[in-house]
Structure 1
Amino acid sequence: MDIQGLQAFLSVSAYGSFSEAAARLHLTQPAISKRIQNLEHQLGTALFDRIGRKIHLTDAGKALLPAAQRILQEMDNATRTMQNLANLVAGKLSFATSHHIGLHRLPALLQRFNESHPQVELDIHFLESELAYQAVQKREVELAFVTMTGQQNRVLQQEKLWHDELTFVASPRHFLARKLDLQLNELCYTPAILPFESSATYQVIKQQFERRKLPIKTSLPVNYLETIKMMVSVGLGWSVLPTIMVDEQLTELRVASEPLSRSLGVIWLKERTLSNAAQAFLAQIRE
């Protein structure tokens, strides 16, 4: 079995699509199909059932999946171990980051790292935190900078890096901005623009209202905080945003509630040997 064939097999099985797998591996769809065909020829069995537009693993494909994952994992670890023995800080460093962290926490760090380690090629993926968790587990990226969920994960190493304070905000022209002191119940029936309910940030906000058995009237859920800021600034509703984002476009609302905050950090696979580049980047951030 050749490594390229196994990589194609894992990518197709992960995304259930030859075209998506091709895009992820930066190949053409015919190239992916050829690699799968060669692998099936080597093994003497079909690995996928193609039913209409849907692709499903055959029994043989299901049996191969964990073995293929272990083989590629060991190959990856061996390569990194050899590079680490040579003490080289070079090669590709692939990581995911949420838009907020990428815009507000990483720029200065990336500039310094790029100047210190010019032989490292940075491969940056902007993903929602929930998708970034998946990307790490699928080995699409080595690290991910995310909003921490607070839940333990047996396959992921998690490290808190930043404490992110959150603030109730509205447009200076919003009627809520004219009130000196607010209670949560004054907000619960006024339209709010908040992240998707599946996000860790939304859950932090929701807990404040649930403790007092209050509903939240949400409209236009958006997961990009910069977009939420714009929508709030033109008066479409109130929100809760990182304090670091509050400027003259927003008014901080004085709401009687417990202080709101979230944790931002980095995750990686426990079983994965981190490259010298990843270790150097983490060391610089910890400083």
Structure 2
Amino acid sequence: MHFTQLETFCAVAKVNSFSKAAKLLHLSQPTISSHIQYLENHYNILLFNRSNQGVTLTEAGKIVYEYAQKILKIQDDMERHLAIMAEVENHMLTVGASSAVGNHLMPCSIWKFNETFANSKIKLIVANSQEILEHVYENNIELGLIDGPIRGSPSDIFVKEIIEDKMVIIAPAKEPWVDLDVISISELIKLPFIIRETGSGVRNNFKAVLDKLSLKFSDFQNTTEMGSMDAIKTAVELGLGLSVIPLKAVEKEVRRGVLTALELKEDKMVYYCKMIYKKQNSKSKIAKRFIHFLASPGTHSYC
């Protein structure tokens, strides 16, 4: 069965847009297009009418949408019943997540998982990306979710990219920042700058951006290191400096008008949240179900 493609198809049909569906499912627009193209090739029929205003279902698309909703509901019901039979509630799953992922993805993702598997027990540990990777290596946790790059290619660790996000430069929502959309790296390195601690995924992702620009943290004229995103956001709001942070982690503050998010002129600063676990370790039933849940499109909610 083509559950992933059907889930994508239903999302596009609901919002009448490939780009809106991509944001909803946290997938790239080319991935959305490939899923729809797969279904159209498989059934050998056009499912959407395309136009500059968006997409609408064809008559064939309306039929597929009606059945796809039924199929996906049956799948959910089946997994719910299987979970009861498997007694997944008898095992506690310990999940480790980096700060950005743990504070802005996992709470709602766990809540949505518990809606389907009501008796599941999940313990969430939040630390920086390097600490979570070490916990996985040392078998302290079954599953990790990190937002930083992984050095080398560890043969004993399974790595899957599950969510695409981007980082932004944050500034106080006041002059001169409030009316700006972008900032250049040459401007940024002259300003007070606040960065996460060593081992943080945000720090490592930003270091990769600086490497592409042939720069180092020592090129900044004034830097401060903080080990908490909340502390960084407060410091920036108070005007103590600018910083770099995942967009999802600052959306509430931007909507409330206390912080401004700026694009870096030289780079889009896109990165991926990665799911990691030991290949050779046997997985508990709840771990297998949670891994499948996280790997499926449309299951992630930020809060």
Relative to structure 2, which stretch is displaced further, 194-203 or 240-249? Answer: 194-203
Compared with structure 1, are the counterparts of its residues 220 and 119 closer, same or farther at alpha carbon in structure 2 (3 Å cutoff)? same
Give the 3 Å change call, closer, same or farther, for CA 269–173 of structure 1 in structure 2. Answer: same
Q: Note if contact 2:148-2:202 (Cα within 8 Å) is conserved in structure 1.
A: no
Structure 1 residues 192 and 115: CA distance shift in structure 2, 3 A: same
Q: For residue 75 of structure 1, what is the aligned residue in structure 2?
A: none
Q: How far 1:177 moved relative to its partner? A: 4.9
Match of 1:241 among 245, 265, 268: 245
Residues 204 and 216 of structure 1: CA distance in aligned 2, closer, same or farther (over 3 Å): farther
**Structure 1 residues 208 and 217: alpha-carbon distance in aligned structure 2, compared to 1, 3 A threshold:** farther
State whether structure 2 residue 102 is matched by structure 1 residue 94. no
CA contact (8 A) 1:206 1:216 kept: no
Unaligned runs of 5+ in 1: 1-83
- Secondary structure in 2 aligned to 1:108? helix
Answering whether residue 277 of structure 2 is matched by residue 268 of structure 1, we say: yes
* C-alpha displacement of 1:223: 3.1
1:235 and 1:216 map into 2 onto residues whose CA distance is 17
Aligned ranges 1:25-104 → 2 under 5 Å:
87-90=86-89, 91-104=91-104
Structure 2 gaps, min length 5: 1-82, 297-303
Match of 1:252 among 261, 264, 285: 261
CA deviations over 1:167-217 (Å, ceiling 9, x no partner): 112112364556675421111121111112443322332343344444124
Matched, 1:277 2:286: yes
Quick one: distance in 2 between partners of 1:148 and 1:254? 19
Cα distance change on mapping 1:216 and 1:204 into 2, 3 Å: farther
Residue type at the aligned position of 1:87: A
What is the letter of the counterpart of residue 242 of structure 1?
P
Larger radius of gyration: 1
Q: Is 1:161 matched with 2:165? A: no
Q: Does residue 1:208 correspond to 2:209, yes or no? A: yes
Distance 2:99 2:207 in 1: 22
Conserved? CA contact 2:100–2:246, under 8 Å: no
Aligned residue identity for 1:158 = V
1:153 corresponds to which letter in structure 2? P
CA contact (8 A) 1:148 1:160 kept: no
Aligned to 2:118: 118
The residue number in structure 2 matching 1:128 is 128
The SS at the match of 1:232 is: helix
Once the two structures are superposed, residues 75-128 of structure 1 have per-residue CA deviations (whole angstroms, 9 ceiling, x without a partner) of xxxxxxxxx9x8332311111112321221122221122233233322221221
Instruction: Note if contact 2:158-2:278 (Cα within 8 Å) is conserved in structure 1.
Output: yes
State whether residues 128 and 201 of structure 2, in contact with CA within 8 Å, keep that contact through their aligned partners in structure 1.
Answer: no
Q: Is the 8 A contact 1:208 1:257 kept in 2?
A: no
What corresponds to 1:147 in structure 2? 147
Query: What's the C-alpha RMSD, in Å, of the aligned pairs?
Result: 2.4
272-281 vs 178-187, which deviates more? Answer: 178-187
State whether structure 2 residue 236 is matched by structure 1 residue 227.
Answer: no
Report the TM-score when normalising by structure 1: 0.63
> What is the SS of the residue equivalent to 1:272?
coil
Q: Amino acid of the residue matched to residue 295 of structure 2?
A: R
What secondary structure, in the 3-state scheme, does the structure 2 residue paired with 1:219 have?
Answer: strand
Contact between 1:100 and 1:226, CA under 8 Å: does it hold in 2?
Answer: no
Deviations 1:237-261 (A, max 9, x none): 1111112214122112354211102
1:112 is paired with a residue whose SS is: helix
Aligned residues: 203
